[in-house]
Amino acid sequence: MARVKAKVDALILEHLLPTVSPIKEIALLYEMMRDYPERPAKGLRSLFCVTTCKALGGSEDDALLTAACIEILQNWILIHDDIEDGSELRRGRPALHRKYGELLAMNAGDALHARMWGVLLQNKDRLGADTALQVMEEFARIVNETTEGQHMELAWVVGRRWDLDESDYLAMVSRKTAWYSVAGPCRLGGLIAGAPAAELDRLREFGLKLGVGFQIQDDTLNLVGESSRYGKQKADDIREGKRSLILLKALKEAGHEDAARVTAIMQRTRQEKTDNDVNRVLALMKHCGAIAYAQHTAQQFLADALAVLDTIRWSGDAAAVQLLHDVARFSIERQW
């Protein structure tokens, strides 16, 4: 795992992102584009891509450039998400817009987005024009899904919507997170390995299950995990006003008065929320079993994902198949 991550990081930082410009303003832009990629991260998404490729008979080297683009994708999305969500921290350090302001950060996200497509074009030299184009088609789909999911969540924020069902949540999170975190990376690995369409369909199913479970787990860690290892403020999702599965479940299970009280707190801005507010919401989430419910649901999604994984006809490296199972398990069982 660590070896693939080191290769992908080196590729991104030493070859794919720009470094120097004689114009000092532009040198600052390059520094901003490199900022998130230089921060420590798990690199799970690129690992899904490379490992799936190997498990389906493809070579690691064929998948590295695409894996690097998955990390670049993740980073430009985070730059824009952090602005849109008003996040303070990212990977334990100030969010990019907190360091440089929203205007420059927004544009740096655009620059990194375009750079991702520019890098994807280089796939032509190793994979040939047709596969390079197929890989880009998958990226186009991934970004479509991600922006649709992001729009759904933002529309709820702007519309002050709290009357949401679990099905609304699942429709949002499968688009916003599961596609670019797991379904897309795995399908890209399969594509590069030359896997047939039926296997790519199963990889999508696996990825959506695992990706949704991954996000639900992420949301529970935000509330009860160790913030120093996790790299965000503790219970930052409550401060942010996030419609997590946990919150929606708590609103549903709580009595009318408690629900109204929690909604009123959640509706406050980050600045307006006191620590006491946050602790009251957290206490209700625990008390009504919403956190335990979310943890259980995440495990259910993991089990479903692993079951799909077992239906895939692997044609490659057995160690990679095993690693894929392990990474899937880790991504939901991790405690940070």
Please report, as ranges, the residues that interact with a copy of itself according to CB under 8 A: 23, 25-26, 28-29, 80, 83-84, 100-101, 103-104, 106-108, 110-111, 113-115, 117-118, 121, 124, 129-130, 132-133, 136-137, 139-141, 143-144, 147-148, 150-152, 154-158, 171
Q: 212 vs 328, which CB is nearer to a copy of itself?
A: 212
From the list 18, 127, 10, 6, the residue with the least C-alpha distance to 66 is: 127
Q: Output the smallest distance, CB 31 to a copy of itself, in A.
A: 11
Q: Write down the least CB distance from residue 277 to a copy of itself, Å.
A: 22
Q: Coil, strand, or helix at residue 90?
A: strand
Amino acid at 300: Q
Minimal distance, residue 110 CB to a copy of itself, in Å: 5
- Closest to a copy of itself by CB, 242 or 261: 242
How far are the Cα atoms of 155, 244, 254, 272 from residue 260, in angstroms, in the given order? Answer: 21, 17, 9, 17
d(CA 66, CA 73): 10
For a copy of itself, the closer of residues 128 and 196 by Cβ is: 128
The dihedral built from the CA positions of residue 175, 325, 91 and 281, taken in this order, carries a sign that is: positive
**Least separation in angstroms between CB 29 and a copy of itself:** 4
Q: Do the beta carbons of residue 240 and residue 234 sit within 8 Å?
A: no
Q: Which is nearer to a copy of itself, 13 or 28 (CB)?
A: 28
> b or e along 275-314 (b: 16 or more beta carbons within 10 Å of the residue's beta carbon)?
eebbebbbebbeebebbebbbebbeebbebbbebbeebeb
| CB nearer to a copy of itself: pick between 170 and 292 | 170
**Least distance in Å: CB of 12 to a copy of itself?**
16
Residue 110 or 310 having the CB closest to a copy of itself: 110
CA 280 to centroid of chain Cα atoms: 28
Backbone angles phi, psi at 269, to 5 degrees: -75, 165
Least CB distance from residue 82 to a copy of itself, whole Å?
12
